[in-house]
Each structure stands twice: as C-alpha cells, then as structure tokens.
Amino acid sequence: MRRTLTRRDFMKAAAFSVAAMKTGPAIAAPGSANEKLNIAIVGVGGQGAYSYGNVRKENIIAIADVDSVRAGRPFARMDASGQFTDYRRMLDKLHNELDAVVVATPDHTHFHPSYMAMDYGLHLYLEKPMAHNVWEIRKLTELAEHKGVATQLGMQRHVKDNMHRVTELVQSGAIGEVTEVHSWVNSERGMYPRQEEPQTVPATLDYDLWLGPVEHTPYDSKITPYGWRFWWDFGTGESGNWGCHILDIPFAALNLDYPTHAGADGPPPHPEMTTQAMHSWFDFPERDGRKALKLHWYQAKGGPEILKEYGLSAGGKNTLFIGTKGLLLCGFDERVLLQQDAEGNWVPKLTHEDAMEFAVPEQTVPDSPGFHVEFLNACKGDDTPPTCNFAYSGPLSETVLLANAAYRSQSSFDWDHKTMTCVNAPAAQAFIKPSYKKGWELG
C-alpha cells in the first residue's frame, strides 16, 4: 500500500548535496520559509528552556522530559497528548509529523535521542558538547552527513560580532602567521563529592531513564539535576562545558579540524569526579595555506602562566593568539592587538584611525540572522547551512573531549582521526568509545 504523503514529506522531499567540511550539508527543500515547523523537544528544564524560548514561535507539538516538575511551564503548557517522559515513545509515535528535534539533556544522554531523531530524517538542534565521548560525536557527525539533515550545535556565542571580527583579524594577517594559541576557562569548578546521607528519588523524576545508558548509581540531589556536569559518568567537566564555546574562537579563525597529536597533564585524576585544573595541548597540521600550529587548552583559575610571560592580564578574555608579527588577546566580547614597544613591553597596536600603523580589515564574515534562526531557516529550505553544523562542530567537539581522554590517562599520543586511535596509548583509548548498560547498545 502506498503511504500517504504528509506535510513533513513535502518539506523534506529534497535533493541534498554535501558541501565542504567547513560549511556542511547544503539543505534544500521546497517548503515555504513562512511555514511553521513541527518541533519536538527532549529535555526542557535548564538549558532546554533557553532553546524552547528561541523556537517557540514554531509549532512545538511535543516535549519529552524525565522530570515533569523541572520541565516547568513549557511542559505544563502542552496538551497531555504532547507530554512524554520517554523520548523514544515520543519519536516512535510522532516522527512522521515532525520536522525537527531539539535535544538539551545532560551530556551522557545527548547521543541516543540525537541519533534516533536523525535516523528518522529529522533536523537536529543539539546542546554542546555534542556527546559524551569521541566515538559518539563521530557517529552523530557521520549520520548527519548521511541523512543530509540540518544540524546546529548549541555554541550560540559563535554569532557574536566580536567573534567575527577576531576571525577577520587573524585571517587578514594582522599578527602574521599564527604559531600558537592558548585558550582557557577561568574556573576551578569540579570535584563535587556525593552527599553522605541516602537521597530519595523525587516522585516526579524517572531516575532510571535519567541514567539512560549509564549503569545504576544511587540517586543524589547534588548530582541530579545539575552536579552531573562534574562526574565523569554523566558530564565532561569544564572542558565539555566551556571548551566548545571558547575553542570555537581559534577553530573558526584558523580553519581547524582534527589534531594529529594530543596530550594533557594536571593534578592526579579522580576516577569519578572531574578535575578542578588541567592543561592540554594539540598539534594541528598545515591546512589550506595555514602553517602547522599548537593549540593549548586550560582549566585554570586566573588564566594560564603564558599570560605572565607576556606581562598580560586575562581580564574578561579567554584566548591568546601568538603570531610572527604580534599578539591578539580576545574573548567573546573583547579583543586587543598587541605589539612590542622599544622596551620590549607588549602594548596595544594602533589602528589606521590613530596612526595609519595598521589597517582594520574589511568585514568578510557575514552577520547572522540569529543562532536559532540559522537552524530554523535551514530546516525550511535555506541553502545556507547553520554556522555550527556538525561538519564544523563535530571535529571541534572531538578535540574538546580528546583533552579529557589525555588528562584522565595522563598521557600524550599521536591521534589518528580516521580510525579514532590513540596511537600506542591504550590508557587514553579506553576513554574514546563507551560501553553501555544492557538495552542501550546502538542498534
């Protein structure tokens, strides 16, 4: 029997072509840009509420959340037929009516609902850091390309004006050839110990479903609903929390993808809790005319020691580009070019507006219509891929989690990204691919 074509079929009946790795799949569809999308959300408490607010003008037809109270007003507003505890039931039941899915769950449960949604051919907005380990990220990246769906990773700072200007400065040669980059999160968060007294699972929480693919562990209100971020079983520490946002700066400016070498050190790793400090580093080969370079990532209160070597203060910044002609110190909202004065001190570099010493480059990075708007437009047929589509954000996310693998194994290794192998480093390799509890294996 021939299946009746649905609204979603018409919107997605497109010939998809794959563009370059930097731009990702080009999405084309005959649906009207003014037509509203049918969207489902998995996880609407916490960060999920932010995305809900940015897509709510579309048709939100279903929400799945393991805690009906934490899911809050967005969940309460839904008709009972659109309220689900288990996203698997929701997607099985409604996938033919849906165009897109938003996933905003804890890190350890990013992979399964995202894979399921894209496997059904649905567009996907996913919170960073994409998944809980490198293998999961690679699987999602490959599936997105195979299915030709629109994707966007929740790196919303990517569209900030200052981020664009930093990219233009670096690519214009303002500081010459970049040889090193140092990026950091100014934090000592981590090491959240369990509460000593047994905790009672709230009646509104499906705790087993919250655990998902992770083996059972006693409920602890310090871990669920938020402290999970600092437990290796569930979260990825400050690297996963901030790494995708901050390393977005050098990745965009320098057209980075996969490193060839990774390493890390820091205080002795705890088997369960994430670290309060670490230093990791990556080698990137030449690419598209850019020279090979080294990227450093730190979790360091007050910033890394490299700042003191140059007599600099982090302030509100988080990235230092070191070039053959100068330095660029920047963050999400600030930037300053630096050059050496006659005494060898690093001082702000003058622009053409001051002394014709440096010409500000013309704008080459286009303004964004809005981070979520990029995604929604692509779902509706705009042939411009979202700027943080998985072809771009996948390699970035893998690099972030390679930092954790190197730190937890206290090792340095060559990285073969094609086979996802930590060469001659079995201790690090153990953190690349997960083992799931029974019933959660892929397929």
Among residues 398, 394, 395, 391, the alpha carbon closest in space to that of 26 is found at 391
Q: What is the pLDDT of residues 197-223, one digit of tens each?
A: 999 999 999 999 999 999 999 999 999
Domain identity same for 133 and 183: no
Domain identity same for 119 and 167: no
Q: CA-CA distance, 407 to 427, in Å (whole number)?
A: 10
**CATH classification of the domain holding 406:** 3.30.360.10
- Residue 197 maps to a domain: no
- Residue 422 maps to a domain: yes
Q: What is the pLDDT of residues 133-155, one digit of tens each?
A: 999 999 999 999 999 999 999 99
Burial class (CB in 10 A: 0-12, 13-18, 19+), 206: middle
Q: CA-CA distance, 179 to 52, in Å (whole number)?
A: 41
Domain identity same for 236 and 361: yes
What angle (nearest 5°) sits at the alpha carbon of residue 55, between those of residues 53 and 59? Answer: 120
Entry field: residues in the chain:
443
Residue linked to tokens 């964004």: 368
Domain identity same for 47 and 165: no
Domain identity same for 46 and 103: yes
Average pLDDT over residues 237-260: 98
Task: Please report the pLDDT score of residue 82 as a whole number.
Answer: 98
CA atoms within 13 A on the CB side of 208: 5
Burial class (CB in 10 A: 0-12, 13-18, 19+), 7: middle
CA atoms within 13 A on the CB side of 359: 5
Among residues 85, 48, 90, the alpha carbon closest in space to that of 68 is found at 85
Domain identity same for 258 and 168: yes
Q: What pTM value is reported for the model?
A: 0.92
In percent, how much of the chain has pLDDT > 90? Answer: 86
**CATH classification of the domain holding 91:** 3.40.50.720
Average pLDDT over residues 28-47: 80
Task: Please report the pLDDT score of residue 8 as a whole number.
Answer: 54
Domain identity same for 314 and 421: yes
- At 36, the pLDDT band (50, 70, 90 cuts) reads very high
Please state the domain count of the chain: 2
Domain identity same for 329 and 340: yes
432 contacts 262 by C-beta, under 8 angstroms: no
Domain identity same for 123 and 234: no
> How many other CB atoms are found less than 10 A from the CB of residue 352?
10
- Residue 204 maps to a domain: no
Q: What is the pLDDT of residues 367-386, one digit of tens each?
A: 999 999 999 999 999 999 99
**Domain range for 101:** 7-158+370-388
Helix axis angle, 237-246 relative to 390-409, nearest 10°? 140
- Residue 213 maps to a domain: no
